[in-house]
A and B are shown apart, each in its own frame.
Chain A
Amino acid sequence: MEEQNRSICVTCYNQSFCVLTTDKSDITSCSEYENTVEFNFEPKKRFDKLKKVGTRNSHMTWKQFA
């Protein structure tokens, strides 16, 4: 994750097996990028899992704001 922190590859569905490049450190655009929202979105299941591991945007969360 650290070495790819400048790259859109970190959230790409194809990342683990993509043959297009070995250097996934600074990819700012790619036509093969699979928008995880469109292709893999299962909100309910993910939501339950995420609740267990904590906040999703932890550095920016106001937990007790409500």
Chain B
Amino acid sequence: MLDNVMRQFDNAADIIDLNPNIRKILEVTNNELVVHFPVRMDDGEVEVFKGYRVQHNNALGPYKGGLRYHPTVDIDAAKALAMWMTWKTSLAGLPYGGAKGGIQLDPFKYSQAELERITRRFTYALGDNIGPELDIPAPDVNTNAQTMAWILDTFMSTKAPAERSKNMHVVTGKPIGAGGSYGRDRATGYGVFLSIKFWAEHKRVDLKDKKFVVQGFGNVGYWAAHFLEKAGASLVAVQDAYGSIVNDNGIGVEALFAYAHGNKNGIVGFSNTRPIDNSEFFALDCDICIPAALGNQITAENAPKVKAYLIAEGANGPTDVEAEKILLENGVEIIPDILCNSGGVIGSYFEWLQNRNGEIWQLEEVMEKLEKKLRTSFDKVREISDERKVDMRTAAFMIAIERLEQAYKQRGIFP
């Protein structure tokens, strides 16, 4: 992961001829915090846990990034993901830097009460290394709105009474009742849809009756499909962890969602669809392909068979380096992950803004603002891509890094 992030950074940095001193700064993380903290378990024993927070860069604003609970959490993994967040927030034009962290544990092995105590004690251990104007965590693997509510409550409780309500924006991804934002649930998927819509507008393509396929029917895949269907496009195939289904005449998104909900979240067996071999999925006849599950799905092996003319990367890193080369040579356009799935972090920014300003925006308002913000990013990427004759991914990285470079050049280096 770190290699991949560094490779993309180096590629863009070379093209823009990034100032070597700024390159030195961006290649490393600002802070890497490791905390050990004790927590009493349900059986009375005490266990000591190891938690991390890596803060990559804050030249553009407070650090921002997820907290995950997983046995694989370590400094190296957090470093790569924190760096990735710096580029993502920069490209999105947000006043944020990048961070990542978590606790090295398997939450499956702990009760809810234990997880609550672990979360609260981790928050206490992080202390003032996080904060609404310093570092703003968000949900990630095995953490959710409830986890964020615990962090918020613990963080606020450590402040003086008069200061407590000023700290609502210490985390994002909170439940609506605890300062969360309307629309945060669909922000990433809506962002994927908007990216496709902007691309279609630019290319003068009408989305009506266009066929699309989605890999991954989780939050991102479902919402992207939901909005595309509303725009008149037709979902013809879906792949999830259980298998792949297809219907050339269209698959009803809402009906499939309801079916999956009652079928252990699996899509296989949905009425009027036929199962296909999983290896055939990316070779299906369609206009738009949305890989919205995981990385390295489109490879040198299946890229030559791709029939879609647009790939919208809802997942992180679904197209590998060799595949991208093949696709671009074949005239397939790719909306890169860093742009395509940035709706989520933009939604988080809106939650943070509302808490900070004591406002509550209605769903329509959130969606309108998200569209405006993402359109700005998309247009900029297209513009640079056309001007500098580079693909959209390279253009996106160039914009992200140039924004950071500009901040450093204008502010200088202290002292």
Which residues from chain A sit less than 8 Å from chain B, CB to CB? 5-8, 10-11, 14, 17-21, 23, 26-41, 43, 46-47, 50-51, 55-57, 60-63, 65-66
Contact = CB atoms under 8 A, between A and B. Distances in A.
Contacts, number: 139
Given A11-B71, A20-B239, A57 B105 contact: yes
Given A20-B239, A32-B240, A8 B47 contact: no
B315 A31 contact: yes
B330 interface: no
Contacts of A37: 107-108, 112, 115, 142
B376 interface: no
| In the complex, the 3 A-B pairs of residues with the closest C-beta atoms, listed nearest first | A31-B218, A43-B111, A65-B46
A60 B243 contact: no
Nearest to B113: A43
Query: Which of B42, B47, B292 gathers the greatest number of chain A CB atoms within 10 Å?
Result: B47
A17 B264 CA distance: 13
B8 interface: no
B351 to A, nearest CB: 20
Contacts of A40: 108
Nearest to B81: A28
B216 interface: yes
Given A19-B242, A20-B293, A20-B294, A29 B46 contact: no
B40 interface: yes
A59 to B, nearest CB: 9
A11 B316 contact: no
Interface string B83-122: 0000000000000000000000111111111010000000
Contacts of B110: 43, 56
Contacts of A18: 241
Given A19-B242, A55-B47, 18 more contacts: A8-B72, A11-B142, A17-B241, A18-B241, A19-B241, A20-B239, A28-B1, A29-B141, A36-B108, A37-B108, A41-B112, A43-B113, A46-B109, A47-B111, A51-B43, A57-B105, A62-B47, A66-B45
Query: Which of B219, B220, B293 gathers the greatest number of chain A CB atoms within 10 Å?
Result: B293
B161 interface: no
Nearest to B74: A6
Contacts of A50: 109
B406 interface: no
B45 A65 contact: yes
B252 interface: no
20 contacts: A8-B141, A10-B72, A11-B71, A11-B142, A19-B241, A20-B216, A20-B240, A20-B293, A28-B295, A29-B295, A31-B314, A32-B293, A34-B241, A36-B107, A39-B265, A55-B47, A60-B50, A61-B47, A63-B45, A66-B46
Contact of A21 (B44, B70, B113, B294): B294
A26 B124 CA distance: 31
Contacts of B45: 55, 61-63, 65-66
Contact of B296 (A21, A32, A36, A65): A21
Contacts of B215: 20
Nearest to A44: B111
A27 B216 CA distance: 14
B244 interface: yes
Contacts of B220: 31
A39 to B, nearest CB: 8
